[in-house]
Amino acid sequence: MHKGSCLCGGVQYELDAPLTEIGMCHCGMCRKSSGTAFATNAPVPAEKFRLTRGVELLSAYTSSPGKQRFFCRACGSPVYSKSEKKPGVVRVRLGLLDTPVGRRPDYHFFVDAKADWHEITDDLPQHPGFEAGRA
């Protein structure tokens, strides 16, 4: 089981699923929502994701048609996202995990949109856009 929380600790969650398909998204929306060069996310089955504290602190932003990004209203931490294109799946932000991930990320995607000031220096696969099929 993995546990995670936002910066202020007001929102807390648990996941009972292995972390697979860990991707680092370099798209402009992920950069803006994280305030950094990329966002590291993993999909988990929605039924394996449980908010254990702070549901009332969550707000949602519709960043594109059919996609919502949930964040803590108190501290601004991005917690997870969900898309109508993939019902039953939530994408959690790995930076909020309080427990060890236990594995390396699998790939980078939307690298054609990456920040010009960031250089990818690892040996992970790089996908120019969405064709990694995972965002």
- Residues near 116 by beta carbon (within 8 Å), at least 6 away in sequence: none
**Structural domains of the chain, ranges and CATH numbers in brackets:** 2-17+39-103 (2.170.150.70)
CA dist., res. 89 & res. 127, Å (int): 21
pLDDT profile of the chain (135 residues), mean per 10 = 97 95 93 93 96 98 94 97 95 96 94 95 92 51
Give the DSSP H or E segment for 13.
strand 12-15
Q: What is the pTM of this model?
A: 0.89
